Amino acid sequence: MNKKKPFVLRLQPEMMEALEKWAADDFRSVNGQLEWLIHRALKEAGRYKPPKGPASANPGEKK
């Protein structure tokens, strides 16, 4: 099973409100939206290569 590392993130209230709205629009939790955003940014920057196998699916990816 994949273990996720917890961490604290502090955001300006306006940023949090925008993130909550975006997550709701995409039917995701705020945590899921952040994972999706980070995954997309890392992939686009060429900084992340997911491990091979079924657990390597894009977090929050809509099919």
Q: Is the distance from CB of 24 to CB of 32 less than 8 angstroms? A: no
φ/ψ of residue 51, rounded to 5: -65, 150
* Residue 14 in tokens: 């306006």
Helix-strand-coil percent breakdown of the chain, rounded to 5? 50, 0, 50
The model's pLDDT over 14-57, given as tens digits with 9 standing for 90+, comes to 999 999 999 999 999 999 999 999 999 999 999 998 888 776 55
Residue 59 pLDDT level (bands cut at 50, 70, 90): low
Q: Is the distance from CB of 33 to CB of 22 less than 8 angstroms? A: yes
